[in-house]
C-alpha cells in the first residue's frame, strides 16, 4: 500500500521540476532582477560522486563536485561576489553597497566535504562554512537518516514497532522501501526524537548495522577538522550537540544545544564559532524562540532552511537568514540560474503540495 506521503513526494518533485524548468526556459530570471535581492546562501550536505544506489530517501542530500562547480560558475557569471557567511550582516547593512553576494554552507560535517568540496572551493577561491554537530563529531550520536538509508539498502524483512505493536516490513522492492521510509518519517514526527533515534539504532543493530560505526565512516573526525581549520577559506559553525529538532525541546535543552556547540566547535577548530545552523532548519524546527536563543548565545549569524534569497532588510535579523538548498534531485546548471533569480521564492509555495 502506498501512503499519502509517498504520493505527495512524487507530486512535489514533479511540481518543483516543472517550476524550475519553467523559470529557466522563459528566462524570467533575467527579466525579474528585483526578485534576486542581495544574493543567496546555499545549503549543501554531501558532496560526492553520483552512485546508482542512492535512488530514494537521501538522494536530495547529495550533489556531485561537478554540480558544485557549475553552481559557483553560475554565480560568478552573474557578477556575484563570494563571501564568508560571517561577513554578510555588515555587507547587507551598508546602504552604499549594491553588490550581490553568494555564500556556501555545508551541514552536518561529512568527510566528503573535505575530500570533494574543498578542492572545488579552492579552485575558485570561494569561502565556505561547515556546520558541525558535536554528537556526530564525537561518535556519540547516530545520524538517523543515514542509519535508515543503510537499513533500507538491505533486501531483508525488518520488524519494527511504530507504537501499535510489531510490524513485519519486507524491503524487497524500491516502492516498498519508499513506503517504509515514509512510515519512519511519520513515526519521527510523532515520537520524541531521542527515543526515535534509539529505536532506529536498535533496529539497525538487529540487521547487523552499527549506527555509530556509520557515523564514524561519514563524519569528519576531530583531527581532520583541526587540519581543515587551517584553510583560510573554511570556517566552522555550530549545528547543535545532537541534531535534535530545537522546537521540540524545552528551554534548558535548547540553551544547552546551542551554547554547548559554541564550546565544542571552539575545541575542534581552535576558535569560537560565529555562525550556527538550526538542525533541519524548516518552519517546524526553528521559530522565534530558537532565533532569539541563537542571538543570546552570541552567534553573529544563524541560518534556517526556509527558502529565500537575501535582502538588505535581512541584516536586521542575522540569526534568521534564509537559505536555498542545492538539491541532489535537481542537478542542472539552468536550475541554479532559476534559483539565483529569486523567482521561485515569489511563486506560490509548491513544497506544500
Name the site residues for Zn ion (rule: CB under 5 A).
Answer: 107-108
Q: Is 107:145 a contact under the CB 8 Å cutoff?
A: no
- 1: its cell numbers: 500500500
* Phi, psi dihedrals of residue 159, rounded to the nearest 5°: -125, 125
| Distance of closest approach, residue 227 Cβ to Zn ion, in angstroms | 22
CB of residue 352 to Zn ion, shortest distance in Å: 22
User: What are the beta bridge partners of residue 277?
Assistant: 303
Shortest Cβ contact with Zn ion: which residue?
Answer: 107
Nearer to Zn ion, 177 or 239 (CB): 239
Angular region, 157: left φ>0, alpha ψ -120 to 50, beta rest:
beta
Q: How far is the CB of 218 from Zn ion (least distance, A)?
A: 12
43 vs 118 by CB, closer to Zn ion: 43
| Closest approach of Zn ion to the CB of residue 25, in Å | 33
**Separation between Cα atoms, residue 336 and residue 50, nearest integer Å:** 18
Could you tell me if 18 and 327 are in contact, meaning their C-beta atoms sit under 8 angstroms apart? no
CB of residue 16 vs Zn ion: minimum separation in angstroms? Answer: 21
Quick check: 128 and 117 in contact, CB under 8 A? yes
The set of cell numbers assigned to 332 is 542542472
Cβ of residue 133: shortest distance to Zn ion, in angstroms? 7
Shortest distance, position 348 Cβ to Zn ion, whole Å: 27
CB atoms within 10 A of CB 158: 17
Tell me whether residue 107 or residue 149 sits nearer to Zn ion (CB atom).
Answer: 107
Q: How far is the CB of 247 from Zn ion (least distance, A)?
A: 14
**157 phi and psi, to 5 degrees?**
-110, 130
Return the closest-CA partner of residue 188 out of 305, 284, 98: 284
Phi and psi at residue 241, to the nearest 5°: -85, -40
Rounded Cα gap, residues 52 and 50, in angstroms? 7
Which CB sits closer to Zn ion, 108 or 182? 108
Q: Please identify, using beta-carbon distances, which residue of 37 and 237 lies nearer to Zn ion.
A: 237
Nearer Cβ to Zn ion, position 20 or 132?
132
* Residue 128 three-state SS: strand
Judged by DSSP in three states, 77 sits in helix
Q: How far is the CB of 240 from Zn ion (least distance, A)?
A: 8
For residues 58 and 341, which CB has a smaller minimum distance to Zn ion in the complex?
Answer: 58
146 vs 201, beta carbon nearer Zn ion: 146
Using CA atoms, how far apart are residues 157 and 340, in angstroms rounded to an integer? 44
Task: Determine contact, residues 322/304, Cβ cutoff 8 Å.
Answer: yes
Q: Which is nearer to Zn ion, 86 or 304 (CB)?
A: 304
**Torsion sign, CA atoms 349, 41, 137, 331:** positive
Amino acid at each position: 500500500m502506498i501512503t499519502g506521503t509517498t504520493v505527495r513526494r512524487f507530486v512535489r518533485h514533479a511540481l518543483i521540476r516543472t517550476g524550475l524548468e519553467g523559470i529557466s526556459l522563459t528566462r524570467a530570471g533575467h527579466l525579474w532582477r528585483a526578485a534576486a535581492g542581495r544574493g543567496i546562501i546555499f545549503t549543501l550536505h554531501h558532496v560526492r560522486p553520483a552512485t546508482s544506489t542512492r535512488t530514494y530517501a537521501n538522494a536530495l542530500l547529495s550533489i556531485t563536485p561537478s554540480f558544485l562547480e557549475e553552481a559557483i560558475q553560475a554565480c560568478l557569471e552573474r557578477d556575484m561576489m563570494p563571501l564568508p557567511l560571517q561577513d554578510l550582516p555588515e555587507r547587507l547593512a551598508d546602504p552604499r553597497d549594491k553588490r550581490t553576494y553568494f555564500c556556501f554552507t555545508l551541514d552536518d560535517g561529512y568527510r566528503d566535504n573535505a575530500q570533494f568540496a574543498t578542492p572545488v572551493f579552492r579552485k575558485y577561491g570561494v569561502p565556505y562554512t561547515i556546520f558541525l554537530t558535536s554528537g556526530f563529531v564525537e561518535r556519540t550520536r547516530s545520524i538517523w537518516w543515514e542509519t535508515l538509508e543503510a537499513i533500507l539498502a538491505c533486501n531483508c524483512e525488518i520488524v519494527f514497532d511504530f507504537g501499535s505493536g510489531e510490524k513485519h516490513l519486507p524491503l524487497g522492492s524500491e516502492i516498498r522501501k519508499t513506503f517504509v521510509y515514509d512510515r519512519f518519517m511519520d513515526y519521527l514526527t510523532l515520537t520524541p526524537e531521542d527515543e526515535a533515534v534509539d529505536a532506529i539504532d536498535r533496529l539497525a543493530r538487529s540487521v547487523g548495522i552499527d549506527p555509530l560505526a556509520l557515523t564514524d565512516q561519514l563524519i569528519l573526525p576531530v583531527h581532520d577538522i583541526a587540519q581543515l581549520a587551517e584553510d583560510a577559506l573554511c570556517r566552522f559553525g555550530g549545528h547543535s550537540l545532537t541534531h535534535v529538532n530545537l522546537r521540540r525541546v524545552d528551554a534548558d535543552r535548547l540553551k544547552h544545544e546551542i551554547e554547548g556547540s559554541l564550546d565544542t566547535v571552539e575545541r575542534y577548530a581552535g576558535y569560537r564559532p560565529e555562525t550556527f545552523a538550526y538542525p533541519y532548519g524548516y518552519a517546524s524546527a526553528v521559530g522565534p524562540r530558537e532565533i532569539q536563543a541563537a542571538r543570546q548565545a552570541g552567534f553573529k549569524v544563524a541560518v534556517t532552511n526556509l527558502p529565500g534569497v537575501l535582502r538588505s532588510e535581512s541584516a536586521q535579523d542575522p540569526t534568521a537568514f534564509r537559505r536555498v538548498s542545492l538539491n541532489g534531485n535537481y542537478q542542472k546548471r539552468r536550475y541554479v540560474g532559476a534559483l539565483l533569480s529569486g523567482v521561485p521564492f515569489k511563486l506560490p509555495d509548491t513544497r506544500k503540495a
